[in-house]
Amino acid sequence: MLVENIDYYINEEGNFVFTEAYHLKRGYCCKNGCKHCPWSYKKEKTDKNLKK
């Protein structure tokens, strides 16, 4: 069961944002470039990933 403000929080836009604690509990990197990734995974920026 997820706990608000420990495993996630809701940002100003209304999106769920997983915390570093959640990622560590999960135990692996999903390689999506999450904001609080404890493994410091960063997506490579390409022209496809940039918003126009």
Confidence class for position 43, pLDDT limits 50, 70, 90: confident
Which pLDDT does position 40 carry in this prediction?
Answer: 87
Contact (Cβ atoms closer than 8 angstroms) between residue 7 and residue 21: yes
* Coil/strand/helix, residue 25: helix
Residues 6 or more apart whose Cβ sits within 8 Å of residue 10: 4, 16, 17
Report the alpha-carbon angle 37-6-4, nearest 5: 115
1-29, pLDDT tens digit by residue? 999 999 999 999 999 999 999 999 999 99
Residue 51 has pLDDT above 70, yes or no: no
CA 34 vs CA 15, 18, 24: distances in Å: 13, 8, 12
28-38, pLDDT tens digit by residue? 999 999 999 99
